[in-house]
Structure 1
């Protein structure tokens, strides 16, 4: 057998935490001003804060690659303990004005505790993270404010959900428009042109071969452009699986009523020109047949490995009920 390449090594000043769903992977950069890139899911905020503190002391800065719930869940707790929160300018501005659509939290039915962005980030901006300088790379597509981070001396590239060793980020054609797939593809091309030595994705392992990972991701992203219906199905599967993960599954009797009440499913059905009830039924049927979800003891569960969360941790207000951003969080 041909030996498989091992993952490229990280410098000693970077600490990587590969986490299962519903958390995004976390990068900790210790130093005089310890920085954290992404803060996991709200149900594991204490775990995130405790891990970072044990590794590097108090976190001074949190940088979010984007505002989905698995990336910003520790923001509120870390901000309350003194951390500055930084995020891409479009999302920072929406959070500052308390837009009801913040984090797509209500739309996706994914809880996010209220926080404020202290530092909006623009393309090309240089940040001191830990003891090294990183460049902000704007990479819209998965979300409009999605960004990557580039460390040129070590050729490290944080890519958020733009790609992983096995996937690319889903695109929301309903919220972000029909060109969202093409936007994501253009962002991937921009990231690939940096020719990084190490890719640090938000989900899954560090790819052993960055060039191969980009080649595969570009093919997958092109399919999302070429097949908008397929992109809608892909997003629906990802959103529903995540809903099952954070709720420890769902009784079968509650699944279809839950799906019928979801804005993301209604929007997908409209774009696919099918009835929401038909889409809900087909979604469950095809995910069961494909093994993405499983039926166990009368409940549907996501099949992918994931860490449980408590029901209490999901009880946070949607952004429309967040306090004004000028109030202490």
Structure 2
């Protein structure tokens, strides 16, 4: 991919299809990577970093802990990189909370890792050859953060927004105010008036003001329509499950869904049964073209890359305490 002329020469950015997040490498005095993709493509992430870095990678900064953002952490940490994440995420990882990364809840595998550098709102963090400000942006997850480079007016937004949408919110886990919290985070980012927005998914928006205006409208809809927010989250989560598994047999899809905590939580909020909701979700995704049936398997239609089945076999966070960890000497 040719360098983006809007970015300084020391910023390397690559748009990646699902199930990965985009890659952002900041070269210079302290080479750093923002987010590390899905575990099934961890080696590809490491190879890309190796091809673009000026010297050894020192730090990986996670915008949040979902599987498509932290999947390369373990491999890069084993090679000597430190991991930085928001304090809420860092504390949960340190205590080996079974809910870490929502990996079990979402049925999305994550390889075990630790956090070396907890990050607070307003903290200055040296990445590459510039200082970046940590901006707390809860909503999509409670520990979500953004990164702001004021001299170049570069803004890394994670899943807070993209060129085409905003991040889904989990009203069951994070409370009914999660949509309003996400909306407030988007407003906080818009005030910065960035020159360039770098999202975790999709292209760099051509016009930041237009992207924020669209995100504001979309966020307001999630606030105004809690049931719609639940449905939006379900469609995103189930599509991801279909992507990483090369589809799910049609005959098994509803049983798979009924076994998922996120689906039973959604059924409770929507005042229906998991069985009815599972049927409705499959029907809805087929009806709007978000899924299709091929070779008697239900597949996601959004563009994505395949995942080796063996990569999905990862220990659950409840078992991470059994793993030995290497301490890193990482300075902020």
- TM-score after normalising by structure 2: 0.96
Q: Distance in 1 between matches of 2:175 and 2:56?
A: 40
Structure 1 residue 311 and structure 2 residue 309: aligned? yes
Q: Distance in 2 between matches of 1:33 and 1:119?
A: 14
Length, aligned pairs only: 323
Structure 1 residue 194 and structure 2 residue 192: aligned? yes
Q: Is the 2:114–2:325 contact (alpha carbons within 8 Å) kept by the matching residues of 1?
A: no
Structure 1 residue 49 and structure 2 residue 46: aligned? yes
1:160 to 146, 158, 164: 158
Describe the superposition over 1:27-56 as per-residue Cα deviations: whole angstroms up to 9, x where unpaired.
001113210000000000000011101111
Describe the superposition over 1:215-273 as per-residue Cα deviations: whole angstroms up to 9, x where unpaired.
00000001000000000000000000000000011111111110010000000000000
Shift of 1:26: 1.1
What pairs with 1:283-294 in structure 2 (closer than 5 Å)? 283-294=281-292
Give unmatched runs, 5+ long, in structure 1. 1-6
Q: Distance in 1 between matches of 2:275 and 2:126?
A: 50
Structure 1 runs (4+) deviating above 2 angstroms are 323-329
Q: Distance in 1 between matches of 2:303 and 2:324?
A: 39
Secondary structure (helix, strand or coil) at the match of 1:85 reads: strand
2:330 corresponds in structure 1 to none
Structure 1 residue 22 and structure 2 residue 27: aligned? no
Secondary structure (helix, strand or coil) at the match of 1:165 reads: coil
Describe the superposition over 1:49-82 as per-residue Cα deviations: whole angstroms up to 9, x where unpaired.
1110111142110000000000000000000000
Give unmatched runs, 5+ long, in structure 2. 328-332
2:62 to 45, 64, 87: 64
What pairs with 1:80-99 in structure 2 (closer than 5 Å)? 80-99=78-97
Q: Distance in 2 between matches of 1:111 and 1:61?
A: 22
Q: Is the 1:28–1:36 contact (alpha carbons within 8 Å) kept by the matching residues of 2?
A: yes
Q: Distance in 1 between matches of 2:272 and 2:191?
A: 40
1:133 corresponds in structure 2 to 131
Structure 1 residue 298 and structure 2 residue 296: aligned? yes
Shift of 1:8: 6.7
Q: Distance in 1 between matches of 2:285 and 2:51?
A: 40
Secondary structure (helix, strand or coil) at the match of 2:132 reads: strand
Describe the superposition over 1:136-158 as per-residue Cα deviations: whole angstroms up to 9, x where unpaired.
00000000000000000000000
Bigger drift between 247-256 and 203-212 goes to 247-256
Shift of 1:173: 0.3
- TM-score after normalising by structure 1: 0.96
2:181 to 150, 172, 183: 183
Secondary structure (helix, strand or coil) at the match of 2:6 reads: coil
